[in-house]
Each structure stands twice: as structure tokens, then as C-alpha cells.
Structure 1
Amino acid sequence: MKRLAKGRLLFMLAVTTLFLAGCGEPFISALQPAGEVAQTQYDLMLLSTFIMVGVIIVVTVIFLIVLFKFRRKDDKIPKQVEGSHKLEIIWTVIPILLLLVLAVPTVAATFDLADVSPMEDKNEEGKTDVTVVNVKANLYWWEFEYPNQGIVTSQELVVPTDEKVYFNLLSTDVKHSFWIPAAGGKLDTNTENTNKFWLEFDSKKADEVGNIFYGKCAELCGPSHALMDFKVKAISKDDFDAWAEDLASMEEAAQPETASAEQGQEIFNQSCIGCHAVTPTGANAVGPNLTTFGDRTHIAGYLEHTEENLKAWIKDPEEFKPGNKMTGQYGDLSDEEIDALTDYLMGLKVED
């Protein structure tokens, strides 16, 4: 009875796991592709699955036929067929054909997805004719630099839809992995070398999810690995160009509009400016660039973008992201100072 109970438990666990594996939202699910790369990888996954399931079905049917039709009913030894050239050719040729059916499109797709030559071609201005993003992974946040536009953002990646976007991937500390499930498979970010690849975001799929996709770190990198998220804003090419132009035109941070925000700016310049930049060209800082902080959809990559959550984050970052580099830096700020700093940060937006 105990074995039967354990068997039932394992069966229910397997069924539940299978059921949950099919769940997912379109803005984060690899099973709901939202671009050319993701669609190609999804099609290859379906192809391999159909081949494997087909082989399992054929083998199972043959097994059942042999089991029931050729059961031993007496002491006679059945006719032996060892050394049959016909059978040996059949069970040798069929696997080879199946491997070719899987290998040919896989190899072709691999070479196609690995082609990043357009991002290497520079025009007369020393820029590329395609959108390029330099990605830097940090414990536990992301920086995105647009070399053609001369701007830097963090935590929220903005990309144009319906065209290839090329990425240079690098890590500043340990190995991470850049992954936007709905757009394509992951690629590691290393400290020693730069990995390159491209993704494409479908405008129709982007509209279905409110133009927001989710990105994650897919390589175990520390205690807050699971919280190392970022958001992807996929917008039209015209909107992207307008956004980049507006951001590039900002020579300095947005000016505070209230007395409380002015006080917050003073506090920021005294205690936060050493790690965080508030200009669109501020790269390679210890902490995320905050130029567009007021326009973000989340705080610390996953908290809802509200003043209450921002104040809680400033008071105790360790509670939300264990092992982050900001922990212990601003514990001496009073509640009034945190309120003022919050007003200032919430006002950091791209000015139209």
C-alpha cells in the first residue's frame, strides 16, 4: 500500500509538472514566440519533438504487436531472423534519415542566427546602419548602451520592432546570461570576451502585450540571481528614433520641479552621485544609470514602480535583493530625506 501511495504521488507530481510546463504569459514565454529568432527556435523544437514522439509511438506499437501476437504458447522455438540484411538496412537507414531531417534545418538556422556581420560594417560617420546595443551585466542589474545614438540606459531596454537588433554582450563581474524568452534563446555574458547575436521583435506580438517583454538572467550568479530581471520596451522604429533623440538631447538630468525634489537632488549629489549617473551618457558607473528612472515600469527590476516601493528599497535594499552592492550605503538617511530623494528620482524622465 505504501508503494502504491508513493506511486500515485509521483504520478500526480509528474502530471502537475507537465501541466505547469505548458503555462506562461506571452510577454515571457518561450512557447509563444514574438520574433524571427524565437519562431525559428520554436519551429526546430516542434520538429525535434514530433520526431521523438513519432519514434516512441512506432517503437511502442511494434513492442505491443510482438508482446501480444508472438507470445510463446508452446515449447517451439520461433523462426530466427538474425543476419537479415534487409532488417539491418532498415533500422540503420531510418535513424540516419531522421537525423538528417533534424540536422539540416538546425545547422542552417545556426549559421543564419550567428550572422552578425551587419553590426561590423561602419558608415562614413563611424556608425552602423543597424541598431546596436552594448549590454553589460552586473550584480544584479543591466546596463544598455546605444553607441549609434550616444546614450545609456539601465534596467529597461528599448528596441525598435520589425527589424534586427544586434547585441554585444559583456559582464563586469561574474558570468551572467542574457535572455528574453519571447524573443529568442539565451546567450552568456562573459568577463573575458564579448558575445554577439541578434533578435527581432514582432510589432503585432508587441501590441498584444502592451509593448513590454520580460528579460532575465539565465545563469546562476549569486543570491539574487532570480531577481535579476529587466524589461524590454518594443516600440515602432519612428517612436524609437524619437525616444533616442529626446534622450540624447538631454545634456543634464531633468530639473526638479518642487522644493522637496530640489532637496532630494542635493541629497543625491551628496550621497548617490558616486555610484549612479543621471545623464544619458553616464556609463560604467557602479550602479544603474537613473536618467530615465521616472519613466520606468519597475524598481530594482521587479518591484512595482511606486513611491512606497522606492522608499522601502532605499531604506533596506538587502530585503529585496540580497547581496546587492547598494546594501548599507544609505542607512543614515532620515525618513524626510528619503521622501525628498524619492520625489527627485520619480521626476527623472525624458523631457519631450
Structure 2
Amino acid sequence: MMKGLKKWRLFSLLAVMTVFLSACGEDYISTLKPAGAVGKEQLNLLLFSITIMALVVIVVSFLYLYAFVKFRRSKQGENHMPKQVEGSHTLEVIWTVIPIILLLILAVPTLISTYKLADVKAMDEVDEEGNKSALTVNVTAKLYWWEFEYPEQGIVTAQELVVPTGEKVYFNLKAADVKHSFWIPSIGGKMDTNVENVNKFYLQFDEESKDLEEGVFFGKCAELCGPSHALMDFKVKTLAPEEFEDWVASMQATEGQVASPDSTDLGEATFANSCLACHAVSGVGASGAMGPNLTTFGDRNRVAGVLEHNKESLEKWITNPESVKPGNLMTGKYGELSEEEISAVADYIMSLSVEE
């Protein structure tokens, strides 16, 4: 008796936790609080499917309880034999047709949404001057960071995707090493990034991120890709269209910007000698760099995608990146740097910014 009660207590506790946890989730990372047209449509489809499945569970449970109560032995007697329905064509048709109808009810809107959200023909449309009318971002997933290239604007950044609100943004997704998966929970998705081929889809960002607690939406890698998979985050900054154009102009204005090994600033000189081979400090260029572009590092929300954005975290990352993200591919002369040089490099990198 006591064992049975303990099992029911555990079940009740899990049920209560499920109810409470279902309400958890911040605006910047919750699929249940979508901030984009794609995410809203996917949530509506999810709720519709849950409603259909809940209806099936309720009906089946009712029939079970009804039979359990009506045909119990104490009421019908020991020798009661229920009506035999074996071979009933009517029943066979009913329990075959009803599931087919339910599957069609689920399948039709699912297929419509799938094809709608996969329609990327507008990605190739051009205006009268031959310029592409839609914003396209080339996303490259790497161990364990993200690179974002804006081919029409001629700029590239890393770890923080910047997009305008109120319009469709098209993505070309690929991976540089192993399979990853691009996912912005509050906006929509997700889609795999493969080494062999490019996947394409679009998202729409309806709300500006500046009003969020963190100031950005959170993006994740949703495909197990190695020991630091859980730490392969990126951030999404959504701006009003005119602010996005200002950001693009600020990035384009960094063309030719480079760290000088002859600089009198110890941090810049050390960076030029030890880091510049892998990390660019100009936002103008193409994808394919060995390490993340650092042009906007001072404007970011995190260090290495997961640490607090401050000098101490950056020094920790420079000193021993393996302790932060096991299996990452950062290599270089940072192991030979003195504490003074590491501090100076951290100051220089934190100063890199395009936002006023």
C-alpha cells in the first residue's frame, strides 16, 4: 500500500513540475514566446497538433473508463459474456477511417507550412539596378563558433548576427568541419548546416532586441557536434531598418583597418604579432577566416559566446581557451604571452567597436 502511495506522490510531483516548467522561458530564448512570423506559425502548428492529440487521449480515456465502470464483474455477474464483435466490418471501418482522417487533419497544414517556410525564391530576385532586393546572410558553422557574411554588403562578422526587423532575411547555411544546426528558438528554425551542401531558409524578425533583458536573442547549435556543443552559442541583434543601414555603413567604414606590429600601443602590437593571422579587425571581407572576426568585439554580449562580456573573461579565454571550450581549434602564440601582454591585448580587443 505504501509503495503504491509513494509512486503516486512521485507522479503528482512530476505533473506539478511539468505545469510550472511549461511556463518558464525568457523572451530571448523561448520557443513559446515567438518574436517572428516563422516562429509564430510554427507555434500555432504545434498547438494545433497538441490539441488533436489531446482530443484523442481524452476520447480513448473516456471509453476506457466507461467500459471499466459499466462492465465490471461485480455489476454484470460472474457469468456475463459481452456481445462479441469479432469480424464487424462497421467497427473495422470506423477504427481505420478515423485515424486516417486525424492524420490528414495534421498532415495538410503541416505540409502547407513546410513548403511555405522553405520557399526561398525571393532570395534571387533583383531590382531595376540588378541588386538583390532581399537581405541574404551566409552562415558558416565552425568548431565552436559562427561566422556571418553579408555578400551584397561586402561585410562579415562573427558570433553576433545583426538583422533588420520587419522583413524576411534569407540564410545560406553550411558547416566548415562537422554537422551543426542553426537555431534561434524565439524566432524560428531550426535547420542543419552540412559540409557537403548548402541549406536555405528564411526567418522574419518582428521585434527589436534592445528591449530584451539581455539586449539580444540567443541562438544555439542544435546538433551534437563535439565536447563543447552546449557552448556553441551565438547572439542575434535585431535593429530597426534605418539603424541596420547605419550599422552596415559603420562596418563598411572599417575597410582597410588593421592592427600594426609597429604600434606604440602594446595591446595592438601584441595582437598584430600573435593574433592577426587568424582574426581580422576589419568588417569588410569574405567568409573563410581561421578565427572569428573581431571588428565588433566591443559591441558583443558575450566573450566566446558564453562568458560575461568583460576584460577578466577575455583574459581567461586568451590564457587558456581549452578550459572554456574543450576541443576548440584556437591556436597561436597566446601561450607565450606575459600577463602584461595578455592584459594589453584584452584592452585592445575590448576597444574594437563600430557602434557609438
Which TM-score applies when normalising by structure 2? Answer: 0.91
Question: Matches of 1:82 and 1:97 in 2, distance apart?
Answer: 24
Find out whether 1:281 has 2:281 as its counterpart: no
Question: Matches of 1:304 and 1:155 in 2, distance apart?
Answer: 14
Question: Matches of 1:246 and 1:205 in 2, distance apart?
Answer: 19
Letter in 2 for 1:273: L
Question: Matches of 2:159 and 2:231 in 1, distance apart?
Answer: 12
Cα displacement string for residues 195-251 of structure 1 (whole angstroms, at most 9, x for unaligned residues): 000001112687455651000101111111101101000111111011101111222
Mean Cα deviation higher: 67-76 or 340-349: 67-76
Question: Matches of 2:332 and 2:22 in 1, distance apart?
Answer: 39
Letter in 1 for 2:136: V
Find out whether 1:238 has 2:239 as its counterpart: no
Q: Indicate how the Cα distance of structure 1 residues 100 and 233 shifts in structure 2: closer, same or farther if over 3 A, else same.
A: same
Letter in 1 for 2:92: E
Q: Map residues 77-156 of structure 1 onto 2, 5 A cutoff.
A: 77-123=81-127, 127-156=131-160
Letter in 1 for 2:173: L
Q: How far has the Cα of 1:122 moved from its partner?
A: 3.8
Question: Matches of 2:80 and 2:88 in 1, distance apart?
Answer: 21
Stretches of structure 1 that go unaligned for 5 or more consecutive residues are none
What percentage of aligned pairs have identical amino acids? 58
| Divergent runs of 4+, >4 A | 1-11, 123-126, 208-211
| Counterpart among 278, 302, 325 of residue 329 in structure 2 | 325
What corresponds to 2:196 in structure 1? Answer: 192
What corresponds to 2:29 in structure 1? Answer: 28
Question: Matches of 2:331 and 2:151 in 1, distance apart?
Answer: 31
Cα displacement string for residues 74-95 of structure 1 (whole angstroms, at most 9, x for unaligned residues): 2132223344444333333322
Q: Indicate how the Cα distance of structure 1 residues 323 and 133 shifts in structure 2: closer, same or farther if over 3 A, else same.
A: same
Question: Matches of 1:322 and 1:9 in 2, distance apart?
Answer: 37
Q: How far has the Cα of 1:109 moved from its partner?
A: 0.5
What corresponds to 1:53 in structure 2? Answer: 54
Question: Matches of 1:155 and 1:149 in 2, distance apart?
Answer: 18
What corresponds to 2:301 in structure 1? Answer: 297
Q: Indicate how the Cα distance of structure 1 residues 173 and 313 shifts in structure 2: closer, same or farther if over 3 A, else same.
A: same
Question: Matches of 2:108 and 2:337 in 1, distance apart?
Answer: 61
Letter in 2 for 1:347: S
Q: How far has the Cα of 1:14 moved from its partner?
A: 6.0
| Counterpart among 172, 179, 182 of residue 175 in structure 1 | 179
Question: Matches of 2:333 and 2:209 in 1, distance apart?
Answer: 41
Question: Matches of 1:59 and 1:96 in 2, distance apart?
Answer: 16
Contact 1:254 1:350 in 2 (8 A): no
What corresponds to 1:334 in structure 2? Answer: 338
Question: Matches of 1:49 and 1:310 in 2, distance apart?
Answer: 45
Q: Indicate how the Cα distance of structure 1 residues 15 and 134 shifts in structure 2: closer, same or farther if over 3 A, else same.
A: same
Question: Matches of 1:27 and 1:90 in 2, distance apart?
Answer: 46
Q: Map residues 3-82 of structure 1 onto 2, 5 A cutoff.
A: 5=6, 8-9=9-10, 12-13=13-14, 15-16=16-17, 19-72=20-73, 73-74=76-77, 75-82=79-86
Q: How far has the Cα of 1:328 moved from its partner?
A: 6.5
| Counterpart among 222, 225, 235 of residue 221 in structure 1 | 225
Mean Cα deviation higher: 182-191 or 201-210: 201-210
Question: Matches of 1:329 and 1:13 in 2, distance apart?
Answer: 51
Q: Map residues 263-274 of structure 1 onto 2, 5 A cutoff.
A: 263-274=266-277
Cα displacement string for residues 292-348 of structure 1 (whole angstroms, at most 9, x for unaligned residues): 111111110011111111111111111111111125741111111112111211111
Mean Cα deviation higher: 33-42 or 68-77: 68-77
Question: Matches of 1:267 and 1:135 in 2, distance apart?
Answer: 30
Question: Matches of 2:239 and 2:209 in 1, distance apart?
Answer: 11
Which TM-score applies when normalising by structure 1? Answer: 0.91
Mean Cα deviation higher: 217-226 or 71-80: 71-80
Contact 1:36 1:199 in 2 (8 A): yes
Contact 2:139 2:146 in 1 (8 A): yes
Letter in 2 for 1:264: G
Aligned residues: 349
Stretches of structure 2 that go unaligned for 5 or more consecutive residues are none
Contact 2:258 2:280 in 1 (8 A): no
Q: Indicate how the Cα distance of structure 1 residues 84 and 279 shifts in structure 2: closer, same or farther if over 3 A, else same.
A: same
